[in-house]
Structure 1
Amino acid sequence: MADLNHIALFAKVVEAGSFSGAARALAMPKATISRKVAQLEEALGARLLQRTTRRVTLTALGRAYYEDAARGLASIERAKERIAASQAEPAGTLRITAPVGFGARKLMRWIGEFLQAHEKVRIVLKLTDDPIDLIGNGIDLAFRTGKLPDSSLITRRLGTSRLALVASPGYLGRRGCPQRIEDLKTHDCVAFGPSLDNEVWRLKGPRGWREVPVHARIAVDGSYAEVQAALAGLGIALLPLALIRHDIETGRLEQVLAEYGVDGGSMNIVYPSNRHMSAALRAFLDFIVVKTSSPSEQTPAQAANSA
């Protein structure tokens, strides 16, 4: 079996272009490096390098071996960095962005718990429903919903939440509770978006998908404002259960036409390449993954899927 240290020396020779260059970079005797690379070739039973007095060149087998070895060595280095980061005490400033509704109603509470556990960490939180250029704005991590565009960012899906029809007890007391999906046409609804006109909800029920034109009395741009409109009794709203779970449990909102809704609303975390990740960011990522997998924090849809 090839010695990992010999493989690393071989890679350094290739990258330096010569045994002399590798010796200078590593502060090792040239003869030692040459001998260990020769031992690697002997262990593999193949010549990896063609040697001349001034430089070395890769053989065909050597090139293929180097490409695979370089990827393996890079993976080992990343693993070492992860271990070092996990052993370091989280400290420093994290810059995070999240949608307004999720940030105000859920993330803020989680951040409070995280900061209590890590006294040397500080957080700058920007709540916005607009996409932000993470790298250009120096953002360490973003929470984003829905379908994500292709990018060089690392993406991790936290879970999904069903969109459900809800209204306040006050509204339902005044207007009654819809019994059929067609009844939505006669109710006031909260529209999500910039317009009151031509609002159509596409909902999945026992007999498949149904499209229902609804009458919007108010249109809001942002999930937080949509929740507040529903709580204020302004109509029936179509909202993520993950966002309003506590409101339903405490009776501030009631679910209507529970057999209808929309599945698949997702929450993701995105961040730049995890190479050289700080201990603070890694600790926060681990914390969020634990929180979103906790039964007490799951949406009803997530809990049903994990049962």
Structure 2
Amino acid sequence: MDFQNLYLFVRVVERGSYIAAATELQIPTSTLSRRIQQLEEDLGYKLLYRSARKLSLTEAGRLFYNRCHSLYADLVDATSGIDSELTSPSGKLKITAPVSLANELLNPWFFEFMTEHPGIELDLMLLNRNIDLKDEGVDIAFRIGEIGIPDWISRPLFSSRFCLCASPDLVERLGMPASLEDLARYPIIASRRSPSWIFTDREGTSHELQIRPRLIFDELRTAADAVAAGIGIANLPHYVVDDALEKQRLVSLLPDYRPQSREVQMLYPHRKYLPAKVRLFIDFIMERIEGYRGDEASG
């Protein structure tokens, strides 16, 4: 069955004649009549009585129209809603990101985006664990590290540089370390997800340091506060500790060893037609990232 004929049938009934429907649809009346006849043959029922003066429905035609009309109305509503969603920047965006990445970097951008686009609502899921993005109905996800998800586009944002740091008081008590081996005499503050630290020396050689933390954390700001309080040393992203380093509340350790960086990515579903609100948000974030990269390069 050609389901387009169902649509033609509904238009004929609603317009009350083949001529009116054919004029609206911009097709020949003979073509329209032939398509309705084909529908009747496919169904095995006569749907319309046609006379010189008027068009009327058969009993089968009336029952069929009542069913088709409601389905057609639902389809029109759905199509209209999708069209609005795809073309108009409005509605809800569900976004997930690690807590510290949001608090230290992304939140001001989120708020600026909402100010510029008052028709868009943000549903922020700030979590320090990965969730099933599809099951949760997520539109945009921010992730740290090399993460690949089937049917999702991964957009690299920037390489997050890390800094091995301590408080001036701790360094005064225990001395400034001269090698990775010296770190064994320091209390360690480490992420639950990082059982080891990886460094690259000036010759490009990689070194992996197994650690036994005194304090384990999930949230970076807590770790930075613990370092500033002299609890121990930690390997933290520059976007968390740059201000404290500049104000000398923290000091950088082992300049000859560069901690391994981690990639920050933005993920979104692989779709041929992204909703306008999603495209708008992606473009907005990429503009802010360009500025952030410039600041990082100059710093």
Say yes or no: TM over 0.5. yes
| C-alpha separation in 1, matches of 2:280 and 2:189 | 38
Structure 1 unaligned blocks of 5 or more: 1-15, 34-80
CA contact (8 A) 1:231 1:253 kept: yes
Query: TM-score normalized by structure 1?
Result: 0.64
1:204 is aligned to 200
Helix, strand or coil: the match of 2:161? strand
CA shift in 2, pair 1:27/1:258, >3 Å: farther
Return the TM-score normalized by structure 2. 0.65
Counterpart mapping for 1:70-219 below 5 A: 85=87, 88=88, 90-193=89-192, 200-207=196-203, 208-219=205-216
Post-superposition offset of 1:146: 0.6
Deviation at 1:97, TM superposition (A): 0.7
Give how far 1:24 is off.
Answer: 6.2
Distance 2:202 2:293 in 1: 28
Give the equivalent residue in structure 1 for 2:278.
281
Task: Confirm or deny: 8 A CA contact 1:164 1:258 kept in the other structure.
Answer: no
Q: Which amino acid aligns with 2:97?
A: A
Q: Distance in 1 between matches of 2:167 and 2:285?
A: 30
Query: Could you list the runs of 5+ residues in structure 2 that have no partner in the other structure?
Result: 10-23, 32-82
Q: Distance in 1 between matches of 2:221 and 2:272?
A: 34
Q: What letter is aligned with 1:173?
A: E
Secondary structure of the corresponding residue to residue 172 of structure 1? helix
Match of 1:252 in 2: 249
Q: Secondary structure at the match of 1:216?
A: coil
What percent identity do the matched residue pairs reach?
29
RMSD: 3.6
8 Å Cα contact 1:154/1:273 also seen in 2? yes
Query: What's the CA shift string for 1:207-259, capped at 9, x where partnerless?
Result: 31223344522122344443333233221111222333333233333221123
**How far 1:27 sits from its partner (Å)?**
4.2
Which amino acid counterpart does residue 166 of structure 2 have in structure 1? Answer: A
Runs ≥4 residues deviating over 6 A:
23-26
For structure 1, which segment, 222-231 or 105-114, has the greater mean C-alpha deviation from structure 2 after superposition? 222-231
Paired residues for 1:21-32 under 5 Å: 27=25, 29=27
Which one-letter code corresponds to 1:206 in the other structure?
R
Give the Cα separation in 2 of the matches to 1:24 and 1:179. 82
Cα contact 1:95–1:123 (8 A) shared by 2: yes
| Cross-structure match for 1:53 | none
* Residues in 2 aligned to 1:140 and 1:295: alpha-carbon distance in whole angstroms: 23
Counterparts of 2:263 and 2:230 in 1: how far apart (Å)?
27
> Which amino acid is the alignment partner of residue 121 of structure 2?
R
Asked which structure has the greater CA Rg, the reply is 2
Distance 1:139 1:260 in 2: 38
Write the distance in 1 (CA, Å) between the matches of 2:255 and 2:262. Answer: 17
Tell me the CA shift for residue 191 of structure 1. 1.9
> What letter is aligned with 1:204?
T
Give, in angstroms, the shift of residue 179 of structure 1: 2.4
The count of corresponding residues between Structure 1 and Structure 2 is 233
